[in-house]
Each structure stands twice: as C-alpha cells, then as structure tokens.
C-alpha cells in the first residue's frame, strides 16, 4: 500500500502510524507542510491518507500560519473520499475530515493532555475495526477541540472530557481525536513544546504532569492501533 502522511509540525510526529507502515512494508510518503513540502495534486497513487495533528484549527488562516492551508487539505481529503481511498485523521486531522464532510469542528468540553481512558459506545462495540479495543482503553490525548458530526457519522468512542474521541464517517474514513500513535519519542517532542504549560498548569483537571505522561507504557494502545489499521487496510484492498 501507498501511505501518504500530512504532517503539520515536527512535534506532531506520526509515531506508531509510521511504525505500522514500516513493519508491514508499506510505502510511506510525506507532505511535511512545516517544511513547506507540497500536498499531492491527485490521490491516484494514494491508498491510505493519514492527516496528523497540530496546534492549528480548521479555521486557522494562511495569515495566522503561512505553512498551513486548511482549504487545500480539506479539498485533498474530499478527493480521497470521493475516490474511495482510506482516510484517517488524528486530532486536527480528524477535524479536517469532519470539515471535508461539511461538519464544523467544535471546542471540546475539557482540555485533555496525557493518558486517559476512552469508552466505546454501542456503535463502537459493533464496529469490527475497533471492537478489539474492549469497552475501555487508556489512550493518549493532546487537544481541546473535537471533530464535527454529520447525520451519517457514528461516534465510536468517548471520554469523560470529550464526547467525540473516535468517529466513523464511512467504512473507510475515521477520525481519531485521541492519539493512539504516542510513543516515548513522540511524547518527548510534545512535552518539549509545552513543558512550561504542563509543569505550571493547575487549572485543567485532565492535564497530567510531564513525568506522569513519560512513564506510561504506550505499547498496548499502539498494538490496538496496529490491529485497527490492519483491518482498515484489508477492507480497503477488498474494495479495489
């Protein structure tokens, strides 16, 4: 498979998504927009589009962030959807997917940074690509927004702080507000970017301290993510 990653910042690295692609010997291609690398003009050579997170929002303008073009990314996601490609969005990426379907992102009830459990909804427990997560699974978080919903979309997982953690927009298009790609290396990059906030924060109840985040074993959530991606890849290939 050809996997195309859109990466918005060096500290929002693909982590376990890239590990999965390498282990399965898939071909990984990047648009590192923070280095002003271009988005692909077509989706002809893409099987799975993975749109990573970032500090931006779908409403961030080019004036606010010159290297981020929300409209162009939304247009690319729409091309992938219309071409029946597999699409996964993480955090900001999930919000951009919602926008591509015409659903506006919203602010989450709580800011979440660290590792907290998500709970699968009834739809989540019925979804064959994620029901192996079990009823509850501790996963990574680094957000205060969430993706919009369409009449056809299904919320598959929630948390106490955020009611839209995983959203299925179709059988091949999924938005993950949570960060199951976290590895020690990815977390180190994020902590370095927000160390002062994490150290001094005393307001938000779902924000952990740096050492608490660093000390978590991310391997279980990574393995659950690998299984989801395996199932998504199988379904995509069966549809071709």
Q: If DSSP states are collapsed to H, E and C, what string results for the chain?
A: CEEEEEECCCCCCCCHHHHHHHHCCCEEEEEEHHHCCCCCCCCCCCCEEEECCCCCCCCCCCCCCCCCCHHHHHHHHHHHHHCCCEEEEECHHHHHHHHHCCCCCEEEEEEEEEEEEEEECHHHHHCCCCHHHCCEEEEEEEEEEECCCCCCCEEEEECCCCCCCEEECCCCEEEECCECCCCHHHHHHHHHHHHHHHHHCCCCCCECCHHHHHCCCCHHHHHHHHHHHHHHHHHHHHHC
- Kindly report, residue by residue over 97-134, the tens digit of the pLDDT: 999 999 999 999 999 999 999 999 999 999 999 999 99
| Residue 240 pLDDT level (bands cut at 50, 70, 90) | confident
| Domain extent listing, the chain | 2-239
CATH of domain 2-239: 3.40.50.880
- Kindly report, residue by residue over 156-193, the tens digit of the pLDDT: 999 999 999 999 999 999 999 999 999 999 999 999 99
pTM value surpassing 0.95: yes
């Amino acid at each position: 498979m050809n996997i195309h990653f859109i990466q918005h910042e060096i500290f929002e690295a693909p982590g376990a998504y890239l590990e999965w692609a390498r282990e399965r010997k898939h071909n990984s291609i990047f648009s590192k927009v923070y280095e002003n690398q271009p988005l692909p003009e077509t989706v002809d050579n893409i099987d799975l589009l993975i749109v990573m997170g970032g500090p931006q929002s779908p409403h961030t303008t080019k004036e606010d962030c010159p290297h981020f073009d929300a409209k162009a990314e939304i247009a690319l996601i729409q091309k992938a959807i219309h071409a029946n490609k597999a699409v996964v969005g993480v955090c900001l990426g999930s919000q951009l997917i919602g926008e591509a379907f015409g659903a506006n992102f919203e602010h989450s009830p709580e800011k979440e940074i660290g590792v907290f459990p998500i709970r699968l909804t009834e739809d989540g427990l019925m979804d064959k690509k994620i029901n192996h997560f079990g009823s509850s699974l501790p996963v990574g978080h680094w957000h205060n927004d969430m993706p919009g919903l369409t009449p056809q979309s299904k919320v598959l997982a929630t948390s106490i702080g955020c009611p839209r953690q995983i959203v299925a927009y179709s059988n091949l298009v999924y938005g993950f507000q949570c960060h199951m790609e976290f590895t020690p290396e990815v977390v180190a990059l994020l902590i370095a970017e927000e160390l002062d906030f994490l150290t001094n924060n005393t307001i938000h109840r779902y924000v952990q301290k740096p050492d608490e985040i660093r000390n978590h074993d991310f391997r279980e959530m990574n393995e659950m993510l690998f299984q989801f991606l395996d199932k998504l890849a199988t379904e995509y290939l069966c549809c071709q």
